[in-house]
C-alpha cells in the first residue's frame, strides 16, 4: 500500500477529465493536480517550449512526493515521453492506453484522431495505432481552436460558435467513414456532446482522459502502489495563474465546489 498522491498535470483544465475518472475508479486515492493555466495552450507552441514546460510540470509534481506522474495532456504525451520516462517515479501518458482502446473498438479499421496542432504534427497516435495493428487506416485532424473554446467556457452543447468550429474541423474526418474517433486532447471530452452531434451516433468517441486514468489504475495495481481500501480520498488543485473560468468549469466537470481549493504556484521556480 502507498498513500502518496497520484500526480496529474495538463496545460489547463483538460486533464480534469482524467481526474474525474480517477475519482470514480479509485475512490480511496489522493490526487494532486496541476493545470498550467498561465501558459495554456501548449498545442500551438514549439517543440522545445513544450518540452521545457513539461519538464517543469513534472518537477513540480515529483517535488510534492507523488507516487506516479500521469501526463493528462496529449501534446506533452506526443513530445516529451522521454522526459517522463526518466523520472524517479512511474510515468504514464495518454497515448498507449488511448490507442489500445481505439484499436479494440474499431470494427471497420478506420480510426480518426483529433488533437492539437503539435500532437497531430508529431504523428504520435498514428505510430501507436499502427504498432498495434498495421492494417488500420488512421485519419488525423488538428483542432487548434477547441482548447481556447473550452478554457473560455464555450462548452455547453447549445454553444453555436463551438458547433460551427466542430463542423468545420470534423467534416474531413467524417467523410473518411471512421467508426472510431480518438479525442486526442483531454480538453476535448468536455465538448464531447458537440463532437458527437457532428460525427453521428455510429461513431464511437475514445476519451483520452478516461483511458489514461484506467491505465493509471492498472499501473498502480501492477506495482503495488494502491492506497488502502479504507483510506479517505483527498484532492488538491494547483494552477499557474488564477482563472475564474477554471474554477467554474472544473467545479461543473467534477461535480464539486472548488472555492478555496485551488492554489496558485509559480511554475517557473521548477
Cβ-contact 10, 73 below 8 angstroms: yes
Domains 6-93+210-269 and 95-208 share a fold: yes
Separation CA 162–CA 28 (nearest Å): 36
pTM score > 0.85 for this model? yes
pLDDT tens digits, residue range 99-133?
Answer: 999 999 999 999 999 999 999 999 999 999 999 99
Q: What average pLDDT does the chain have?
A: 95
Alpha-carbon distance of 126 to 139, in angstroms, equals 8
CATH of domain 6-93+210-269: 3.40.50.1860
Q: Which architecture, in CATH terms, is 95-208? A: 3-Layer(aba) Sandwich (3.40)
Q: Rounded to whole angstroms, how far apart are CA atoms 218 and 172?
A: 35
Element (H, E) at 248: helix 244-254
Residues contacting residue 179 through CB under 8 Å, at least 6 positions apart = 106, 107, 108, 110, 202, 203, 204
All cell numbers assigned to 250: 472544473
Helices (H), 95-241: 95-105, 117-122, 124-132, 146-151, 160-175, 192-199, 208-222
At residue 249 the predicted structure's pLDDT band, cuts being 50, 70 and 90, is confident
pLDDT in the model for residue 259 = 74
pLDDT, residue 270, reads 97
228 in Cβ contact with 253 (< 8 Å): no
Domain boundaries of the chain, sorted by first residue: 6-93+210-269, 95-208
Q: How many CB atoms lie within 10 A of CB 202?
A: 9
pLDDT tens sequence across 31-77? 999 999 999 999 999 999 999 999 999 999 999 999 999 999 999 99
* Mean per-residue pLDDT, 222-230: 95
Q: Residue 76 and residue 163: Cα distance in Å, rounded?
A: 26
Catalytic residues, by residue number, are 73, 185
Amino acid at each position: 500500500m502507498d498513500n502518496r498522491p497520484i500526480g496529474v498535470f495538463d496545460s489547463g483544465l483538460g486533464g480534469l477529465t482524467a481526474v474525474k475518472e480517477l475519482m470514480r475508479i479509485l475512490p480511496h486515492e489522493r490526487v494532486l493536480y496541476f493545470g498550467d493555466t498561465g501558459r495554456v495552450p501548449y498545442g500551438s507552441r514549439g517543440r522545445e517550449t513544450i518540452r521545457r514546460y513539461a519538464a517543469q510540470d513534472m518537477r513540480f509534481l515529483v517535488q510534492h512526493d507523488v507516487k506516479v506522474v500521469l501526463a493528462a495532456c496529449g501534446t506533452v504525451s506526443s513530445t516529451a515521453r522521454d522526459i517522463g520516462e526518466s523520472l524517479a517515479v512511474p510515468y504514464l501518458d495518454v497515448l498507449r492506453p488511448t490507442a489500445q482502446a481505439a484499436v479494440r473498438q474499431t470494427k471497420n479499421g478506420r480510426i480518426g484522431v483529433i488533437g492539437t496542432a503539435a500532437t497531430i504534427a508529431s504523428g504520435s497516435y498514428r505510430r501507436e495505432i499502427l504498432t498495434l495493428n498495421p492494417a488500420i487506416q488512421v485519419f488525423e485532424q488538428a483542432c487548434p481552436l477547441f482548447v481556447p473554446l473550452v478554457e473560455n467556457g464555450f462548452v455547453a452543447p447549445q454553444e453555436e460558435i463551438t458547433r460551427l468550429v466542430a463542423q468545420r474541423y470534423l467534416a474531413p474526418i467524417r467523410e473518411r467513414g471512421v467508426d472510431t474517433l480518438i479525442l486526442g486532447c483531454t480538453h476535448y471530452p468536455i465538448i464531447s456532446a458537440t463532437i458527437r452531434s457532428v460525427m453521428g451516433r455510429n461513431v464511437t468517441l475514445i476519451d483520452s482522459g478516461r483511458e489514461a486514468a484506467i491505465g493509471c489504475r492498472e499501473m498502480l495495481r501492477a506495482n503495488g502502489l494502491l492506497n488502502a481500501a479504507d483510506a479517505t480520498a483527498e484532492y488538491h488543485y494547483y494552477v499557474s495563474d488564477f482563472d475564474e473560468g477554471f474554477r467554474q468549469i472544473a467545479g461543473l466537470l467534477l461535480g464539486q465546489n472548488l472555492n478555496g481549493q485551488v492554489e496558485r504556484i509559480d511554475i517557473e521556480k521548477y
